[in-house]
Chain A
């Protein structure tokens, strides 16, 4: 059979999830009159923005044949720290010092903490050869524990209307979280498609041994990728905290599963080297639309879970069937 080209195939993958999304939208538009409205559309996108941010980072990791289970906890910890710094600043009693934070300051601090946690994941995985699943599972617990310690198990609330703009505001008729997600996605697309780092990510996932034999610094690339995913989870945490006007100690629980689902539905292979950020965005939107549609259709929340799981399986099976035909 004639060779299938890489670009063509990538487009086909993107196409595949896009078709699924369109079909899903058409079906929901027929079944319910509330679905196909601009308001509802933006609503779905706003709800999906956080998952898009996390799934984007997750895609980078999965492309290197890794996984990050800690994103939900990292999201909670970074959101809590941002909220805490905004509300209380840093007081150093011994020096009689008080440091206050602007909104930009807490956002940057949150993202920085996220990157540090991701960096830590990357170091454990590359330097100590701990499998990503285990390393990030440990981080999931550790970061959740720190969140509880930091918040003392209580929400940090009343963060002010200015901070709430990040999660609830509108800009040029589009919700701010959607803008943020768009910037994140464009950034990641740029990295994966246009830069050396992107090539190295695909090369490592495609064949780590060959990448090593090509002189690529695998340790460095992986650490960068995990740090990025941590930073993106932190962005998600800030959006969530802002939207609720409150940092919840149990925020982000099981978000990692939604992100992995989005990545997988988007056609990215968990064994690495194959997939796109666009795919994950499509996957995240499909999950968002599905959630929204099932609510509009008054489907019980219990059944929603079953349907979501079924969709994940279906997406992967279709993908595998396509591979076999090759």
Chain B
């Protein structure tokens, strides 16, 4: 039995796990459920030795353990199958399964025959009729997942953690996976199964553990609960963020989307976005909620012109159709995006504050069409530092040295300087502290009152409820609900976000 006792884990000031305790029972499928950001993945990463710094205790079969590497966890019998599979695409199944534990003969030379034979046996147990020398890159995602499971069987793991194992596989593959899980269970193995798909859990899981805000809120037998009860447990928190009830004037239609579709670049059949249509008015804040993989970020990127080759549909700004072939086109049309990952997509963190803010408006700073007016640039940067209350020693401070909240404000500043009509915010407060969060909410409200149209994408329900005038819900690339804020509750939103077979 694996027991976590009072585990706390912080990431640079943000608490991901808050004194959490739970048990994984052997011979059972333990379902771990919770909203995005509840801390499920973080906890699994502690179990599997990926995160090594934490407070609290892990007890494995009555012995306290503290893994300092993934290898150690594996040796102790814990295997994890990540959402993003961890296989080397250009190596074969055999090579992947034996990666790091290759068999050698007496001469120190790889014993390929024996490894291949062992792999064959493993694959047979999983009903996978593929040659062990097949390269991973030529397998389907479902098959790759089974290879991961084969890897877990190979190290003879007693505890197998599966993170969203059915997110990318077909129904038939799901059936196969479930029969394998049932077999593993009958062999006495412990399965930890993370999934958003509640219907699935009623099929496969024995116990449930509900996590919320980094803590366990409830656990019990699957047969003693219901779909609605689980949703209630996942969301039933007191709302911490006060809603600002300032009402902005929603006048004319600003941004109109009509049947936006986005095709997957690699798999021709599956669409990432399917027929999305909605309208954003001046002064309106739309909140978009969806679980991981619902296509929220892709929708924002499509509106921002980043997927010209694979998207289709009609976009109108102020009733005028616009063709968005690049980010530059979108910016020209008055649409800007504060991206999901500020360090990767929003900022050049090795440079100072000033050039990061001015990068979008260098055209306006040119004198005689060639020389940059540094004085004006400096004034503008200072103006935005003041306006958004960015805490930085100077305009020349390297962005890397600022806190997450202040970095996010710099991304906002660079786009506000452009004076956009439509502001797209993708997870605007991810990983920043509570104070900076409420400052950003205030700012969003203020901008709406001034007439900007704003879309906020968030995986935090309280955030959606705090800022939006209207909530759109997405699930698997489709718009599943359009709820006025007066009727929106965490449960009603989540209901539409969770996949129904």
Contacts and interface: CB of A to CB of B under 8 A. Distances in A.
A210 B328 CA distance: 13
Contacts of B347: 207, 210
Interface string A203-214: 100110111111
A200 B339 CA distance: 19
A37 interface: no
A166 B345 CA distance: 47
Contact of A215 (B349, B360, B366, B398): B360
Contacts of A3: 392-394, 397-398, 401-402
B351 interface: yes
Contacts, number: 94
A269 B341 CA distance: 24
B306 to A, nearest CB: 8
Contact of B345 (A4, A213, A273): A213
A46 interface: no
A213 B398 contact: no
Contact of B346 (A200, A210, A274): A210
Interface in B312-354: 326-328, 330-331, 337, 339, 344-352, 354
Contacts of A4: 397-398, 401
B281 interface: no
Contacts of B348: 202-203, 206-207, 210-211, 273
Nearest to B362: A196
A214 B344 CA distance: 12
Contacts of A91: none
Interface residues of B, number: 38
A217 B397 contact: no
Contact of A199 (B331, B372, B393, B414): B372
A215 B330 contact: yes
Contacts of A94: none
A217 B362 contact: no
A202 B394 CA distance: 20
B110 interface: no
Interface in A197-240: 199-200, 202-203, 206-207, 209-217
Contacts of A199: 355, 358-359, 362, 372
Contact of A194 (B351, B355, B372): B372
A298 interface: no
Contacts of A195: 366, 370-372
B379 interface: no
A76 to B, nearest CB: 33
A98 B402 CA distance: 66
A213 B349 CA distance: 14
A202 B355 contact: yes
A8 interface: yes
B396 interface: yes
A212 B328 CA distance: 9
B339 A2 contact: no
Contacts of B331: 215
B392 A212 contact: no
A5 B398 contact: yes
A5 B397 contact: yes
A214 B414 contact: yes
A13 to B, nearest CB: 13
A6 interface: yes
A203 B355 contact: yes
A212 B347 CA distance: 11
A202 B349 CA distance: 12
Contacts of B397: 3-5
A265 to B, nearest CB: 20
Given A213-B345, A215-B331, A274 B394 contact: no
A300 interface: no
Nearest to A272: B350
A206 B351 contact: yes
Interface in B399-416: 401-402, 414
B359 A203 contact: yes
Interface string B104-148: 000000000000000000000000000000000000000000000
Given A203-B359, A213-B337, A214-B359, A6 B328 contact: no
A36 B345 CA distance: 51
A196 B363 contact: yes
Nearest to A6: B352
A188 to B, nearest CB: 15
A8 B396 contact: yes
Contact of B352 (A5, A207, A211, A213): A5
Contacts of A214: 327, 359-360, 414
B371 A194 contact: yes
Given A3-B398, A5-B398, A206-B348, A215 B370 contact: no
Most chain A beta-carbon neighbours within 10 Å: one of B346, B351, B397: B351
Interface string B350-390: 11101100111011001000111000000000000000000
A5 B304 CA distance: 32
A202 B351 contact: yes
A206 B345 CA distance: 11
Contacts of B354: 6
Contacts of B346: 210, 213
Contacts of B337: 213
Contacts of B326: 215, 217
Nearest to B301: A213
B331 to A, nearest CB: 4
B372 A210 contact: no
Contacts of A9: 398
Given A3-B397, A5-B397, A8-B396, A213 B371 contact: no
A214 B345 CA distance: 9
A227 B353 CA distance: 30
B345 A6 contact: no
A146 to B, nearest CB: 35
B351 to A, nearest CB: 5
Nearest to B355: A199
A9 B402 CA distance: 17
B445 to A, nearest CB: 25
Nearest to B360: A214
Nearest to A269: B350
A217 B348 CA distance: 16
A5 B351 CA distance: 9
A6 B349 CA distance: 11
Interface string A1-43: 0111111110000000000000000000000000000000000
A109 B402 CA distance: 50
Interface in B288-311: 304, 306
A182 B388 CA distance: 43
A273 to B, nearest CB: 6
B372 A196 contact: yes
Interface string A271-302: 00110000000000000000000000000000
A5 B396 contact: yes
25 contacts: A3-B401, A4-B397, A5-B352, A6-B352, A8-B396, A194-B370, A194-B371, A194-B372, A195-B370, A195-B372, A196-B363, A199-B362, A207-B350, A209-B344, A210-B347, A210-B348, A211-B348, A213-B304, A214-B327, A214-B359, A215-B331, A215-B360, A216-B359, A217-B326, A217-B328
Interface of A: 2-9, 194-196, 199-200, 202-203, 206-207, 209-217, 273-274
Given A207-B344, A210-B345, A273-B351, 6 more contacts: A5-B396, A196-B362, A203-B351, A211-B348, A214-B359, A273-B350
